[in-house]
Structure 1
C-alpha cells in the first residue's frame, strides 16, 4: 500500500471510519496486537535446499531435492502453483540480472547446472556443464556464472570458478571462499574466506574482467564466517557467524555494526527489500535438540542494530551442519510483507510463513477494516512497533499507518 493523496470520494468514508476508531480506542475495545505475527505452514515434507524470491514477480522459488524440482510458490496466496522438474538433486539457485533466468546447481549430477525460463516457468533444454562440482552459484554478471566449487574432498573448502556462457569456457582460480555475493551491475564480488585459521576474512574483488582483482580485505573479527548477504542498496555486507552478525561497509570494508541475538547457533540472515529490517535465524544440530536450544527468528532494526522482536518457529529451523549447501533458510517475499523459513528435520521440511497475507491486516481476518486501523492506533499510543502495522516502513507505528490502512479499507486509490 502506498501513502497516496486521498481521493474526494474516499475521504468521507475515511473520516467516518476514523471517528469509529477514536471511539473504539477511547472505550479500550481493541484486541491486543500479538507479540509474534500470525504464521502458517506450506506442507511439503521434502528435502528443501534453497529458496529465492523473484524480484519482478510475486513468486518464491524453492529447490526440492526429493522431487528433483523447483517449486513455484505464489507469495500472494502461499500456494504451490507449479513444480518444474530440473534434474537430479537441485540445491543452490541464482537469478540473473534481468530477472529472466534461474540457474540451479544439480548436486546429483556433478558439474551440471539447470536453466529455468522464469517468464514461461519452464526448464530450458540447455544444461550447463563444468569440469568441477559446484556448490554455490551467482548469476548477476551478464554472460558469466560465478561458482564455488568443492576441492580437497571437504565440502566447506571451495574455490571460485568462472564460467563464460558466451563461449563455453571456464576459468578456475585459486581464490578460496565459503560464500560470495555480486553487485547488480556485475562488477564487484564480495566473499567470506573459508580458510583462515583464526578469523574469517572479508574480501572485495573487481570482476569487470574474468581475472578478479583484489581491492581490499579485512578480518571479520569472528572465529568463523559462513554466509554473507548484501543489503538491498548494496551499501553493507552482513556476515553470518555462529554467534552474531557483523556488518561491514561495502565501500571501505570497515565494520559499522553488529546484530547480536545473544544466542549461539546463527544459521542465516536476510533483509526486507527496503533494508530497514533484518531477520536472523538461530537453530542447532538435531542431536542436541534437548540441550536448551531453540529455533528462533530475531527481528532487528538495521539503523540502530537493536533487536525489536523475538519470534519462535513452530518447529526445528533447518541446520546444515556440514555446510553442504549455502542455500537460503530464510527469505522474504519481494514486497517484504512475509518471511519464509524452512522448518522440519532430516530430509523432511515444510515452509513456515510469518506475516499477514495483506500488510495492515492486524487481526488476521483476511480483510482490511477499521478494526485493523484501531489496532495500529493502539500500537502508536503505546509507542510499540509491529512489522505488519508499520505500513510505511519507517520503524514507527503512527496515526499515518492507521490512516493508510483506513484508506485501503475504504478502497481509496
Structure 2
C-alpha cells in the first residue's frame, strides 16, 4: 500500500470518527444523523457526543462503560441510532421529556430485537444510487480521459474507486447525478487496484461496508455504476447510473497485481461494461457493500455475457483509515472553477429546467463546499471545446488519441477512442459513427488481419489484444499477452506485430494468429511506446523508438528478427517521433518528428535520405495517398499540408480549428479524415486550398 503525504500521528479523538448531519435541530426533534465508530467506545461517551451534536438530551442510566462499535450507519432518525447503540450496550431506549435515556431493561437483560423485515431490492437500489459517482481522470498530455465508477465510503469526503481508473491522471473529476467535484488522491493500493479520493464536500450519506468474509456462493448481489457514461453523454443522454443484479459464483483465489501475494476475488455473473470499474458490489437484502467491481473476462461479447470480478471490501477498510490520516486537500472552489474552464475535454454540468418550466439553476459549477444532495438538479453533457461546436463534418469522439485505420475492403474508418475505451466504426460514405465497439482499456494500435474479417485492437491499459468481427461489428475474444500492447501492424507471414506500452525495453512480439500465440522477435531490444510501419504486402517494415532522446530506427527481417538500421541520427530522425509511414509500394519511408520542422523521406531499401517535406513547425503525423503520389502532413500550425512526393513541394493547405493529431486517407483518395481533440473531421481532398504562406 502506498500513501500520499500521510500524517505520522492522529489525535486520539479521531478514532471515534463520529459523523453527524450538517444541521442541529432544537431539542425535542428527532434529527437524522450518521454514526461511524471505527473502534469500540464507551456507551457514556457515545451518548454524550450524540447529545452535544444533535441538541437532544441523551442520558445514560446503566452500563455506561459498555463498549459500542465498531459501527457504520447511514443517516437515521436519532431514536433509531440510539436503538442500535442500545443493543450493543444491552440497554433500552426510553423517552424522557424532550430527550432520551438509555436504561437497564426489565430483569436486567436486553430485550431481544425483533427480526428485521427484509428490505425490497428496489428500495435497496434506490438508496444506493445517489451515493455512486462517475469518476473521470484526465491525461492532458495525451488528450485523453479514463472513466470508471466510485462510491461514497464516508461522509467525511471520501470516495472509493479502482486505482487503474485514476492512475497518473490529473485532475480527477467526480460526478454525481446532483453535482460535480474535483478530487485529490488520498491513498491507493496498487496490489488490489483500489484508490480513495477526497472531494471538497461532507456528504450526508455513505454506503455501509459489510464483511466480505461472510459472503458465500449463491448470495444475491448487485452492482451500480456508470457503464458507457461518456458515450451516452456524447449522444445527449443525461448522467444516470444503472444497476445489474448478480449471483456470487465463487470466491476465487488470486494474486496481487504487484506483489503476486495470494488474494481472494469475488466472481459474479453480471455483465460488466467499461465504466463499471470501481463501482460497489453490494448485498441485495441490506445494501451493505461487499466488494469493489474490478474487471470482466468476456467469452461471448455478442450475447453480452461473461465472468466479472470484484475485490473484497475488507481490503478497503485499512485504505480508508490511511486516507483519513492523509491531510491532502482537494481543489478549492476557485481552483475547481479554473480547472473546469481549462480542461479541453472536461465534462461540464448544465442545469436542468425545473418541472413545469421556468429558468434552470444559474450555477453551472456548484460550490464544492456544500453537500452534493443539496445542489440543484443538473444534467451532464459533453460540451465540445470551442470553437469545435458547430464545425460541419466533425464526427465527435471522446478523446481519440489512438490510431485511425481505413478498412482496405469496406467504406469504413476505425478510430481507437482512447478515452472512451472503444473503437468507433465510421461509415466513410455517410460520414457518421455506425457502431461503437467496447474492446478494452485505452485502445491504441489497430490492425486488420489476413482476409479482412478481423480487427485487432491493442488495449494499452491492459495486457491483451481484442478481436473484433468486422462482419458483425462485435468483439469476439481476446489474446492475452505478457506485456501491455501499444502499436500493431500486419507483418510478414500474416502475423500481427506488437510493440509494448510504457518505458520498459520489452522488445517486439509477433502473434501467430492460427494458434493465437505470442512469439518473441529476436534481435535488438525495443523501448516501450515504439511505433510500426509495414508495407501493404507485409514483406518489409520498420519500428521507430520515440521519446526525448534521439530516436532509433529498426528494420524487420522477416517476422522473426529486428535489426538496428539507423540509430540516433538527429538530422533525420530528430527526437519525439510521432508517426512513420511507408509508401504503398514499400519503397519510401516517411518519418514525422516533433523536434524537426520537416518530415524526413528515406529510401526504404538503403535508408539513404531522399528529401524533406518542409512544414515549418512540429509535424505530428504523415499519411500517403493510395497511389503514393501525395503526402499529407499534420503539424502544429493547425494545418494539414499536402505535398507532391515526386518533387517534395507543398501543393496545398487545409486550415483547421484545432491542432491535428492524425490523418487518414480513404481508399479512393478522395477524402481526408483528420483527428482532432474532439473527434474526426471529414474533408474532401479536392477541397484543399492553395498553400498557406508561412508566418
Q: CA deviation at 1:165?
A: 3.4
Distance change (3 Å), C-alpha of 1:152 and 1:200: closer
Find the counterpart in structure 1 of residue 664 from structure 2.
331
Find the counterpart in structure 1 of residue 639 from structure 2.
296
1:214 to 555, 558, 563: 563
**Pair 1:269-2:619 in alignment:** no
Q: CA deviation at 1:213?
A: 5.3
Moved more, 132-141 or 188-197: 188-197
**Pair 1:164-2:502 in alignment:** no
**Pair 1:190-2:547 in alignment:** no
2:484 to 114, 130, 133: 133
**Pair 1:176-2:519 in alignment:** no
**Pair 1:148-2:499 in alignment:** yes
2:499, 2:397 → 1: CA distance? 28
Contact between 1:52 and 1:93, CA under 8 Å: does it hold in 2?
A: yes
Q: How far does the alpha carbon of each residue in 1:61-108 deviate from its partner, in whole angstroms, 9 at most, with x for none?
A: 112234432221111121212222222332221112432221001133
1:100 to 453, 472, 476: 453
Give TM-score scaled by structure 1 length.
0.64
1:213, 1:207 → 2: CA distance? 8
Contact between 1:143 and 1:166, CA under 8 Å: does it hold in 2?
A: no
Contact between 1:298 and 1:307, CA under 8 Å: does it hold in 2?
A: yes
Contact between 2:488 and 2:498, CA under 8 Å: does it hold in 1?
A: yes
**Pair 1:311-2:644 in alignment:** no
User: The residue matched to 2:525 in structure 1 has which SS?
Assistant: strand
1:181, 1:164 → 2: CA distance? 19
1:102, 1:132 → 2: CA distance? 19
Q: CA deviation at 1:248?
A: 0.8
1:186, 1:316 → 2: CA distance? 32
Mark the runs of 5 or more structure 2 residues left unpaired by the alignment.
1-390
1:257, 1:301 → 2: CA distance? 12
Between structure 1 and structure 2, the one with the greater Rg is: 2
1:278, 1:152 → 2: CA distance? 31
Q: Tell me: higher relative CO, structure 1 or 2? Use CA pairs within 8 A at least 6 residues apart.
A: 1
Q: CA deviation at 1:54?
A: 0.7
Distance change (3 Å), C-alpha of 1:277 and 1:185: closer
Contact between 2:457 and 2:467, CA under 8 Å: does it hold in 1?
A: yes
Q: How far does the alpha carbon of each residue in 1:259-304 deviate from its partner, in whole angstroms, 9 at most, with x for none?
A: 01122x2111111111111111112xxxxxxxxxx31111111110
Distance change (3 Å), C-alpha of 1:187 and 1:343: closer
Find the counterpart in structure 2 of residue 205 from structure 1.
556
1:353, 1:253 → 2: CA distance? 34
Find the counterpart in structure 2 of residue 83 from structure 1.
436
Contact between 1:176 and 1:194, CA under 8 Å: does it hold in 2?
A: no
User: The residue matched to 1:223 in structure 2 has which SS?
Assistant: coil
Q: How many residues align?
A: 291
Distance change (3 Å), C-alpha of 1:254 and 1:176: same
**Paired residues for 1:387-406 under 5 Å:** none
User: The residue matched to 1:184 in structure 2 has which SS?
Assistant: coil
Mark the runs of 5 or more structure 1 residues left unpaired by the alignment.
1-38, 284-293, 319-328, 365-383, 387-413
Q: CA deviation at 1:216?
A: 4.4
Distance change (3 Å), C-alpha of 1:69 and 1:196: closer
1:64 to 390, 405, 417: 417
Q: CA deviation at 1:317?
A: 2.4
Distance change (3 Å), C-alpha of 1:272 and 1:203: same
Distance change (3 Å), C-alpha of 1:297 and 1:186: closer
2:443, 2:509 → 1: CA distance? 19
Q: How far does the alpha carbon of each residue in 1:347-366 deviate from its partner, in whole angstroms, 9 at most, with x for none?
A: xx12111117xx6xx7x9xx
1:251 to 591, 605, 624: 605
2:534, 2:395 → 1: CA distance? 33
Q: CA deviation at 1:111?
A: 0.9
Find the counterpart in structure 2 of residue 230 from structure 1.
582
Contact between 1:104 and 1:113, CA under 8 Å: does it hold in 2?
A: yes
Contact between 1:187 and 1:207, CA under 8 Å: does it hold in 2?
A: yes
Find the counterpart in structure 2 of residue 326 from structure 1.
none
Distance change (3 Å), C-alpha of 1:112 and 1:213: closer
Give TM-score scaled by structure 2 length.
0.39
1:123, 1:136 → 2: CA distance? 19
Q: CA deviation at 1:147?
A: 1.0
Find the counterpart in structure 2 of residue 44 from structure 1.
396
Q: CA deviation at 1:183?
A: 2.8
1:214, 1:152 → 2: CA distance? 20
Q: How far does the alpha carbon of each residue in 1:120-153 deviate from its partner, in whole angstroms, 9 at most, with x for none?
A: 32221x2111011111111334452211113545
Contact between 2:454 and 2:470, CA under 8 Å: does it hold in 1?
A: yes
Q: CA deviation at 1:233?
A: 1.5
